[in-house]
Amino acid sequence: MDTKSDAEPNENGSNQRINNRLASASSSHIVSQANHVASRQNSLNRVSSAKYYDIASTILGGSGDVEEVFLNAAKNGNSSKLEQLLEQRETVDLDIDAKDKRTGNTALIWAAKRGHSKIVELLLRNGADATLCNYEAQTALETAFSPVRTLLLDWLDKQPGNSEKLLLQAAWQGNLAVINRILRENPRVNVNCQNSEGLTPLMLVARDTLLFERLSKQLNRYYSPVQVVEQLLEARA
């Protein structure tokens, strides 16, 4: 009996040592795994950073300002450079509606002003906002050569979908047909949405009426600002 009694503390002590050993080994394993994960993440971050700088260096060609390079490509008709930047826009953090620091021109305004139809179409296809103004309160439409002007006006009618951006442009152009289609297809569309300059559809439809009245006569186009306002108000704008 005494022997058994003496053995129990030894056995309990052994079990405790085993448990301690397991706990220690488990902690070491966890720490080792954590260090491995952290090391791997640091390596991935370094690779990602290196990849970013390689892409940026290749695209920017030595210039550190991606927006400046983008605007110059649009201004100078460099479609290959523009396409390259647009393909990597998320990687290089590019705003397609960035404004020239001196003039306030967006890439779309520069391309329209210089008559670069292919670039205008490329920018529109990638979501450039035609409602934005430069520092002289001019839009791409006002600065555009005649063929580009027609392209800008016709673009809206060809676009499927019912996004807020389309709603803003349709209101600005007094395009009742597109307004009706958007409101019909997407009854929950935010009729009080804003462009990057803080203008709502109602504000836009009232902003450039003289311009669109002139263009509607020159180009024999429908322009229905009053009816557009009525539809927007009915939709609780």
CA 216 to chain centre: 31
**What sign for the dihedral angle of Cα 160, 162, 165, 167?**
positive
Task: Say what percent of the chain tops pLDDT 90.
Answer: 68
Cα-flanking dihedrals φ and ψ of residue 115, to 5°?
Answer: 75, 25
- Per-residue pLDDT, 161: 87
Q: What is the CATH number of domain 63-140?
A: 1.25.40.20
Interatomic CA distance for residues 180 and 66, integer angstroms:
39
Quote the Cα angle for 124-83-169, to 5°.
Answer: 10
Whole-number average pLDDT of the chain: 83
The two domains 63-140 and 159-237 share their CATH topology (first three levels equal):
yes
What is the C-alpha end-to-end distance of the chain, expressed in Å? 93
Interatomic CA distance for residues 154 and 164, integer angstroms:
18
Give me the count of residues in the chain.
237
166 by DSSP, 3-state: which? helix
List Cβ neighbours of 145 (8 Å cut-off, separation of 6 or more).
Answer: 112, 115
Of residues 38 and 231, the one with the higher pLDDT is: 231
- Per-residue pLDDT, 90: 84
pLDDT tens-digit series, residues 175-228:
999 999 999 999 999 999 999 999 999 999 999 999 999 999 999 999 999 999
CATH architecture of 159-237: Alpha Horseshoe (1.25)
* Pair 151, 143: CB distance under 8 Å: no
* Lowest-pLDDT choice from 21-25, 33-37, 47-51, 100-104: 47-51
Task: Say what percent of the chain tops pLDDT 70.
Answer: 73
With CA atoms as reference, report the closest residue to 89 among 52, 114, 144.
52
Identify the DSSP state of 162.
-
Domain boundaries, the chain: 1-57, 63-140, 159-237
